[in-house]
Amino acid sequence: MRPFIQFESVSKAFGSLTVVNALDLAIKKGEFVSLLGPSGSGKTTILMMLAGFERPTQGAIYLDGKRIDHLPPYRRQMGVVFQNYALFPHMTVAENVAFPLQMQRVPRAEITRRVERALDMVKLEQLKDRRPSQLSGGQQQRIALTRALVFEPSVILMDEPLGALDKQLREHMQLEIRELHKRLGLTIVFVTHDQSEALTMSDRIAVFNAGRIEQIDNPQVIYDTPRTRFVAEFIGETNLIEAKIASIDNRIARLSLGAGLSAHAHAADGLSAGQTASFSLRPERIRLGMAPEGSNALDMTITDCIYHGDHMRVQLTRDDFSLVARCERLAGNWTVGAPVVASFDPSDCTVLAQ
């Protein structure tokens, strides 16, 4: 049986520019999948192909077992939330929300009832006679979401829906959308270029680079064990250091890091001894001043210390080798110039192909 949504080697080219390249993507019913990637990586194009506004140049798209890539948008039953909300400016809030129900020829009395219930759900019932231009950005966003939800579409597609909101409101809306997803069991495909948004909201994240999926997995796996250098750099913050692989045994590589230092690290696929690779280590996985049994321990010097309120960033150096560590607070005797032991577990760092 086919997955609920399936892209089968879908490519899309505009003229000679290939924007999506042989994409295979499967999404389960009720899943919240984020498409994450830098601007221009083809995320919007993929969403537009799913919604029906772009035709794949090659490949097939399936929804619930049926091929849909030849269907026009109005026959696909997908609720799309656009970045700029795309509310109908000449209709009131209630008329906006009623629109998809009118398209489905739902009886008038039922439309009124369902519109009321939907607006009630997002607590905006008192605004139902206003025009979109009389609403704040956050309210417009919520109306756009309500309008996309009210006709109970099989899938909700969102293209950077929170990009225009300020930080506080954005975080609030993230929680609200997650809540709705859980409560209504929605299938959501969510496009964003904000990695922290993808990490907090998604069941799975597909990380895109230049029209290809670099890695697709749940947020924790993506964060803890990035499979490529691009993913390691794009998600969160990391120390990325060129290293030589001395040996590999049972997916644990022995690395020489430079400045006479060496460490063990979890190895990605396709690496072999003797190769030069990228060593990725998250700043918060570095411990200072203790080295438990079995961990990597490096003798470093503190060269800088930056206060960030809830945490500190500590620059560690040895000759031309340096690392950034993140810790809650520093012990009193650690000052700039002091020697310190930096330690981390082999399972907390990764070696990646360059």
Partner 1 sequence: MFRALQTTFGIAVVIFLLMPIFAILPLAFTSSVFLNYPIPAYSMRWMHELTTAEVWRTSIVNSLIIGGGATVLATVLGTLASLGMRKGALPMVGLLRTVFLLPMVVPAVVLGVGMQIFLVRIGLASTYLGVIVAHAVLCIPFVIVSVSAALQGIDPSIERAASSLGARPVTVFRRVTLPLALPGVVSGAIFAFATSLDEVVLTLFVAGPNQRTLARQMFSSIRENINPTVAAAALLLIVGTLCLGGLGALLRWRQGRKTAAAVA
Ligand X SMILES: Nc1ncnc2c1ncn2[C@@H]1O[C@H](COP(=O)(O)OP(=O)(O)O)[C@@H](O)[C@H]1O
Give dist(CA 158, CA 284) in Å, integer.
32
Q: Judged by CB under 6 A, does residue 45 bind ligand X?
A: yes
40 binds, among Mg ion, partner 1, ligand X, none (CB under 5 to 8 A by kind): ligand X
| Residue among 23, 37, 155, 213 that touches ligand X (CB under 6 A) | 37
Question: 20 vs 340, which CB is nearer to ligand X?
Answer: 20
d(CA 9, CA 206): 15
* Structural tokens at position 240: 């990325």
**What does R_g of the chain's alpha carbons equal in angstroms?**
25
Cα-Cα-Cα-Cα torsion 194, 195, 201, 202, nearest 10 degrees, comes to 120
Two tokens, residue 265: 């690290």
Give SS3 for 115. Answer: helix
Q: Candidates 37-45, 166-174, 216-224, 336-344 — which segment interacts with ligand X by CB under 6 A?
A: 37-45
Provide the 10 A C-beta neighbour count for residue 311.
Answer: 14
Residue 161 interacts with partner 1 (CB under 8 A)? Answer: no
The alpha helices in the chain, defined as continuous H runs, are: 43-51, 93-103, 108-121, 137-149, 167-184, 195-201, 219-224, 229-234
Integer Cα distance of 340 and 260 in angstroms: 16
Considering beta carbons, is residue 44 or 141 the nearer one to Mg ion? Answer: 44
Closest CB to ligand X among residues 46, 101: 46
Tokens 């505009």 belong to residue: 14
Residue 352 has phi, psi (to 5 degrees) of -125, 155
Contact flags string 106-135 toward partner 1, x per CB under 8 A:
-------------------------xxxx-
String marking each residue 4-43 x if it binds partner 1 according to CB under 8 A: ----------------------------------------
> Is 34 near ligand X (CB under 6 A)?
no
151 binds partner 1 (CB under 8 A): yes
Strands 188-192 vs 32-36: parallel, antiparallel or unpaired: parallel
Task: Say which entry of ligand X, partner 1, Mg ion, none residue 151 contacts (CB below 5 to 8 A, set by partner kind).
Answer: partner 1
Question: Which of residues 94 and 148 has its CB atom nearest to partner 1 in the complex?
Answer: 148
Q: Using DSSP, state whether 255 is helix, strand or coil.
A: strand
> Is residue 228 near ligand X by the rule CB under 6 A?
no
Binding of partner 1 by 321 (CB under 8 A): no
Q: Name which position in 2, 9, 14, 67 contacts ligand X (CB under 6 A).
A: 14
Q: Interface residues for Mg ion in 7-46 (CB under 5 A)?
A: 44
Q: Which residues bind partner 1 (CB under 8 A)?
A: 51-53, 72-74, 76-80, 82-84, 86-90, 99-100, 103-104, 131-134, 147-148, 151
Q: Which residues bind Mg ion (CB under 5 A)?
A: 44
